[in-house]
Copies of this chain bind each other. A is one copy, B any other.
């Protein structure tokens, strides 16, 4: 029966068009902010007529919601590397690396996220209150256990996490300022390596990871 074939083909068209629109939307929302972004501009970037956007996403707000939720998924993905390690040097080092890599590869997403949180998280507040709070409290316990095991200094885990988030995301959210301070050039591969190493070294040394662990970075 053709009724079994047709829906699958349509589903594929829908999937591809939604991805094209979402990619364009993320870029435009990041560059112009929610209020500054227009459906017309997103449509132009996506290479589609404006009306098609409303066919796939009923409203501008619904499109924005989907963009923000996709970014939250990327964030959770990076958070996973935290757990596949035994001590602070390995776990936090891998976590910083993962977040720096996201800042490098996915700066638009980070900017949309930052803008959403700066504007009091109108869309993502429920996720902050549930998933983020739970994740953070779990990680705080892990860090506390490292402190008790003598693997690191007795620093406040909460402010350590904030510092990691702030610093790694800074390379995405403020990439324009960083480029301006780098002779208007994007960071080269070597400069990114240097950035990662510098960030990891200062933070890990700052929380009391011994020099023998730091030399492995």
A: which residues have CB within 8 A of B?
A: 30-37, 111, 114-115, 117-121, 125, 128-129, 132-133, 136, 153, 155-156, 158-160, 162-163, 165-167, 169-171, 173-174, 176-178, 180-181, 194-195, 198-199, 201-208
Contact = CB atoms under 8 A, between A and B. Distances in A.
A210 B110 CA distance: 36
Contact of A170 (B34, B155, B166): B166
Contact of A174 (B118, B160, B171): B118
A169 B114 CA distance: 12
A170 B181 contact: no
Contacts of A202: 155, 159-160, 163, 203, 206-207
Given A156-B194, A156-B198, 15 more contacts: A114-B114, A115-B115, A115-B118, A120-B176, A121-B176, A125-B180, A128-B180, A133-B181, A136-B181, A153-B205, A155-B202, A159-B199, A162-B171, A165-B174, A166-B169
B198 A31 contact: no
Contact of A117 (B30, B155, B176): B176
Contact of A205 (B33, B174, B199, B205): B205
A31 to B, nearest CB: 6
Contacts of A133: 180-181
Contact of A34 (B33, B181, B207, B208): B33
A183 to B, nearest CB: 9
A174 B117 contact: yes
17 contacts: A33-B35, A33-B119, A35-B35, A36-B119, A114-B114, A114-B173, A115-B115, A136-B181, A155-B198, A156-B194, A159-B202, A162-B167, A167-B167, A202-B203, A202-B207, A203-B206, A205-B205
A134 B112 CA distance: 30
Contacts of A174: 114, 117-118, 162, 165-166
Contacts of A114: 114, 118, 173-174
Contacts of A37: 35
